[in-house]
Amino acid sequence: MRLLLLPCLLLAGCAHDGQVIEIKVPVPVPCVSADFPKPPTYPDTREALRQAPDQAEFTRLLAAGWPLRDARLKALEAALEPCRKTP
């Protein structure tokens, strides 16, 4: 049995003509990097707004949350822009 295997291996080695074939396979790449910052703790949660003792505190919580959301939205839009340009 070993004697039959040896010629097969030798012939298989001779069949190689030395050409290298390159096969390109698409690899999925995440658009947003893993180190993208987590969202901040927003002060104007539903619970915080429900528990606001008066209109002034309610408004203060909203006013504190809006700039955080605007900044987060701008960061997300900037991070996603390159993803929109890739085919």
Which three-class secondary structure state does DSSP give residue 49?
A: helix
What was the pLDDT predicted at 14?
55
Q: What letter would DSSP give residue 36?
A: P
0.75 surpassed by pTM:
no
Torsion of CA 42, 48, 50, 56, to 10 degrees: -90
What was the pLDDT predicted at 12?
63
Per-residue pLDDT of the chain in tens (87 residues, 90 and over written 9): 666 666 666 666 555 667 888 899 988 877 778 888 899 999 999 999 999 999 999 999 999 999 999 999 999 998 888 777 755
Which three-class secondary structure state does DSSP give residue 45?
A: coil
What was the pLDDT predicted at 74?
95
